[in-house]
Amino acid sequence: MKTKLIILLWLVVFSSTAFGAANKADTMLVEKQHFTTKDFTTVSGVTLEQVDIGWESYGKLNANKDNVILITHYFSGTSHAAGKYKADDALPGYWDAIIGPGKAIDTNKYYVISSDTLVNANWHDENVITTGPAST
């Protein structure tokens, strides 16, 4: 029983340290990027005149260009995986607890990319850049 209690206490301390709210001074600020391509043909053969995709990156691409991690979000997610657009934003990205300097996905080591998708259900969000389902 004592061992279980020690393990439980350790887990509580670890989780509150590793996944707790970030210090405002440590908040990673990110900028939404915009990619556009013309005449994109889908697998079904439909051609879209223009496709717009929003994306974010965290960290730096190394000289060998072999330190990239691609974050593919869940269906109703967005490219906003980490950080904040402005220091006073209410919430950081959905994986902010694990993406950033010194975190599990360490942006001091890796160049992390996250993009919006064409099937993004959040096309109405002002921070989502996607041709999205509303355009077809």
Q: What pLDDT, on a 0 to 100 scale, did the predictor assign at position 133?
A: 57
Which residues are within 8 A (CB) of 96 and not within 5 positions of it... i.e. 6 or more apart?
Answer: 22, 28, 81, 82, 83
Domain range list for the chain: 23-135
At position 34, the amino acid (one-letter code) is H
**pTM higher than 0.75, yes or no?**
no
Number of Cβ atoms within 10 Å of the Cβ of 95: 19
Asked whether 100 and 82 are in contact (CB, 8 A), the reply is: yes
Q: What is the pLDDT of residues 15-61, one digit of tens each?
A: 434 444 444 456 799 999 999 999 999 899 999 899 999 999 999 99
Element (H, E) at 108: none
What pLDDT sits at residue 2? 57
CATH no. of 23-135 = 3.40.50.1820
**pLDDT tens for residues 85-133?**
999 999 999 999 999 999 999 999 999 999 988 877 777 778 888 876 5
Task: Output b/e per residue, 66-77; b: 16+ Cβ within 10 A.
Answer: eeebebebeeeb
